[in-house]
Amino acid sequence: MRQDFVDKLELELRAAGERRARPWRIARRQLLAPALAALGVLAIAVALAATGLRSEDTIPAQPGPRMIADTALVSQGGSMVSAFGSVWVADIARDRMLRLDPRTRAVEARIPLGGAAWVGSAAGSVWALGSDRLLRIDPSSGRVVESIPSGGPAPGVVLDGDGVVWMGYPQALLRVDLRRNAVTRTVPISGTGFKAIDGVSDGQVLYVMRGDGRLLRFDARTGERLSAVRAPAGVQLLGVAGGTVFVAGDSGVTAVDARTGRSRWTRDLRAERVNNGLLDGSTVWVQATDRATARDRLWRVDARTGHVTGSLTLPEFGATAVVAVQEQVWTMSTGGDLQVALGKG
């Protein structure tokens, strides 16, 4: 991996931390033996540098994340977003959204939604996408200020565009005009029977992963398709920065050049499955089930190199959402427990 790429990506990752978007849920490498001869170690290091792959799974000697809270919050885990100085949580069983104080984790408001919904933030607002409508919520008052027909009952996500908002569904992207509060364009994204499985945005480009392994790029303002390349197979998109998309596979994560589909690095966490994750600045957080222990863990991975810099065994299972909150990482379990870890890298 060239140093100029690492330096450039680091700068872009920092900038991307301010415009992170939450992906949608439609959802071994061996340790280098310490006894290797010096010449063998050098040869392996050269090979790794040439291919960009990272195979060491040891955790460096630095402070790792530690658990500071495990609280039953809702009866069923849903989506969650940190935005506008609060944390917004979907309370699916009660058809509402909770607004939490990020310091105390106390519930500050309960906002009725009239149906189960995915929650997120885009274009200066909090959004709740339900089975048949998109709700725009004023983050200062917590009031629903607009209700827009969503176009279908399938699960979806809101993607932040360049001055517009997009609803992402398995078969299409729907462009929402914020002045008219109406859908003004539909962009098909399915192909040859394969549907979209996830999507993220950097505010300028929409990135969509399709079931046939195609990574699609769309202009975030117009919806024009920019490219479609074959990329490493994935089950989720954890985030994007500087044209590099972080793709969660079955057992780890890969940094992918979105223009070419080529891997910049791959990290096999030896996980049974990846449940959720996110890109936060120069760190990729991955919540996955450890194959060796059958316990869920939270891994901290350097987004520039793919090195694991820490990990933490979690008390609860599953992850319907993972968000960064100041110096903490909040994980929502399938059963509705909020788990809070301290120790962002």
- With a cut of 50, say whether residue 268 has pLDDT above it: yes
Range of the domain at 217: 3-27+63-342
Better pLDDT: 34 or 95: 95
- With a cut of 60, say whether residue 223 has pLDDT above it: yes
Region for 45 from its dihedrals, namely left if φ exceeds 0, alpha if ψ lies in -120 to 50, beta otherwise = alpha
Q: What percent of the chain has pLDDT over 90?
A: 66
What is the distance between the alpha carbons of residues 203 and 102, in angstroms, rounded to a whole number?
Answer: 25
What is the distance between the alpha carbons of residues 173 and 156, in angstroms, rounded to a whole number?
Answer: 10
Per-residue pLDDT at 152? 67
The DSSP 8-state label assigned to residue 23 in this structure reads P
- Cβ-based neighbours of 142, under 8 Å, separated by 6 or more: 99, 109, 111
Please indicate, yes or no, if residue 55 is contained in any of the structural domains.
no
How many structural domains is the chain composed of? 1
Better pLDDT: 39 or 96: 96
What are phi and psi for residue 45, nearest 5 degrees? Answer: -60, -40
- With a cut of 70, say whether residue 214 has pLDDT above it: yes
Better pLDDT: 26 or 331: 331
Q: Mean per-residue pLDDT for 146-174?
A: 83
What is the distance between the alpha carbons of residues 292 and 69, in angstroms, rounded to a whole number?
Answer: 25
Per-residue pLDDT at 304? 96
| pLDDT-derived band at 54, boundaries 50, 70, 90 | very low
Place of tokens 């939604």: 113
Please indicate, yes or no, if residue 67 is contained in any of the structural domains.
yes
What is the distance between the alpha carbons of residues 339 and 345, in angstroms, rounded to a whole number?
Answer: 18
Better pLDDT: 335 or 160: 335
Instruction: Assign residue 221 the CATH number of its domain.
Output: 2.130.10.10
Per-residue pLDDT at 235? 86
What is the distance between the alpha carbons of residues 84 and 122, in angstroms, rounded to a whole number?
Answer: 11
Per-residue pLDDT at 109? 96
Please indicate, yes or no, if residue 58 is contained in any of the structural domains.
no
Per-residue pLDDT at 30? 31
Per-residue pLDDT at 345? 53
| pLDDT-derived band at 220, boundaries 50, 70, 90 | very high
Please indicate, yes or no, if residue 39 is contained in any of the structural domains.
no
Query: C-alpha distances in angstroms, 97 versus 70, 244, 257?
Result: 20, 32, 36
Please indicate, yes or no, if residue 36 is contained in any of the structural domains.
no
Query: Which of 59-63, 120-124, 248-252 is the least confident region?
Result: 59-63
Structure tokens at 214: 């195609």
Q: Mean per-residue pLDDT for 85-95?
A: 95
Side-chain-side CA neighbours of residue 116 (13 Å)? 12
Q: Mean per-residue pLDDT for 318-323?
A: 96
Please indicate, yes or no, if residue 97 is contained in any of the structural domains.
yes
On average, the pLDDT of the chain sits at 83
Please indicate, yes or no, if residue 140 is contained in any of the structural domains.
yes
- With a cut of 60, say whether residue 51 has pLDDT above it: no
Per-residue pLDDT at 263? 97
Q: What percent of the chain has pLDDT over 70?
A: 80
Please indicate, yes or no, if residue 249 is contained in any of the structural domains.
yes
Per-residue pLDDT at 154? 58
Per-residue pLDDT at 331? 98
Per-residue pLDDT at 271? 96
